[in-house]
Amino acid sequence: METSTRGEALLARLSADDWGLRGRLQADADMSKLTWFRVGGPADLLFQPADEDDLSLFLSRLPRDVPVTVVGVGSNLLVRDGGIAGVVIRLSARGFGSVERVCETRLKAGAAVLDKKLAAAALEAGLGGFAFYHGIPGGIGGALRMNAGANGTETTGRVVEVAALDRQGGRHLLSHADMGYTYRHSAAPDDYIFTSAVFEGVAQDRAAIQKAMDAVQHHRETVQPVKEKTGGSTFKNPDGHSAWKLVDEAGLRGFRVGGAQMSEMHCNFMINTGDATAYDLETLGEMVRRKVLENSGIRLDWEIKRIGRFAPGRDVPAGIA
């Protein structure tokens, strides 16, 4: 007797063929291809909406008990080996990838726009304050959720308002205050999917903007393993401390579990040296948390988002409760 996969079973249950969707719905989508770490099991279903209306329609028709996870370009994600239950939403550049100037000092960007593209559009428009995005490899949706920042500037410093859809497909316009920004965090409801945002810059000479972007690029290439399979900073900086220093002081630069390693170049970056599993990477992270706590008395919190199911028998207990 033929058995169906989780994805096939969910697809059959939804019978979405007559919903009138224009985007792409795919069963058992390989998430390792959609994350920087290049690890992780399949999403039961992957939906790539054609545009905001298509996404709203999909969410309104999707039964309430089906979990929804949104991903950007996966530069801050560790997808576990057992895959992701329910539907993963990934916004396509086709429907969510444009940047437009809305007034003298403001740009509106779709949530699938890469941070680098927004920085380039700001340069073109002669708007300063966006150079930090030139060095962050994510997309705008991820930047809005993570309050991505670098070189002394964060997303919160540029955002004016954000458009989002809720789990039922309802539309919302969030003000800057509604986004509830703190360090690498937004307090906007967890189920909101950001679809676009308006950003404010300051008029600046293009040569000065280009210089700032070149400095960002040079700094990155000198201190970060940007060509590796990584998720960027593994842990948030605790108040008054640098996570990398705490990792270094605990003797964990280069520390390995299976194919996972704390980078020799920047020891708050975990890297997949080639054959790591999500289990190796998460185990490494939890061991580092425990050893740093033992060494310094300071708890590190994950900056990387870990999502999905553990593979059977491969749970990773939190190193420190």
Ligand X SMILES: Cc1cc2nc3c(=O)[nH]c(=O)nc-3n(C[C@H](O)[C@H](O)[C@H](O)COP(=O)(O)OP(=O)(O)OC[C@H]3O[C@@H](n4cnc5c(N)ncnc54)[C@H](O)[C@@H]3O)c2cc1C
Residues recognised as catalytic? 184, 233, 303
**Restricting to residues 34-53, which ones interact with ligand X according to CB under 6 A?**
36
Q: Which of 43, 62, 73, 246 touches ligand X by CB under 6 A?
A: 73
Q: How many residues bind ligand X (CB under 6 A)?
A: 32
Q: Residue 164: what are its φ and ψ, rounded to 5°? A: -145, 155
What is the smallest separation between the CB atom of 313 and ligand X, expressed in angstroms? 26
Near ligand X by CB under 6 A: residue from 99, 118, 179, 193: 193
Instruction: State how far the Cα of 130 lies from the Cα of 210, in Å rounded to an integer.
Output: 11
Q: In terms of Cα–Cα distance, which of 140, 255, 221 is closest to 186? A: 140
Q: Is 70 one of the binding residues for ligand X (CB under 6 A)?
A: yes
32 scored as a contact of ligand X (CB under 6 A): no
Tell me if residue 41 falls in helix, strand or coil. Answer: coil
Torsion sign over Cα 51, 55, 61, 66? positive
- Part of the chain binding ligand X (CB under 6 A), chosen from 97-105, 147-155, 207-215, 259-267: 147-155
Site string for ligand X, 240-279 (x = CB under 6 A): ----------------------------------------
Instruction: Show contacts with ligand X in window 148-187 (CB under 6 A).
Output: 148-150
Question: Exposed, middle or buried: residue 39 (CB in 10 Å: 0-12, 13-18, 19+)?
Answer: buried
Cβ atoms of 74 and 90 within 8 Å: the answer is: no
Using left for φ > 0, alpha for ψ between -120 and 50, and beta otherwise, residue 271 falls in beta
Query: What is the contact surface with ligand X in residues (CB under 6 A)?
Result: 36, 70-77, 91, 111, 135-139, 141-143, 145-146, 148-150, 193-194, 224, 226, 230-232, 305
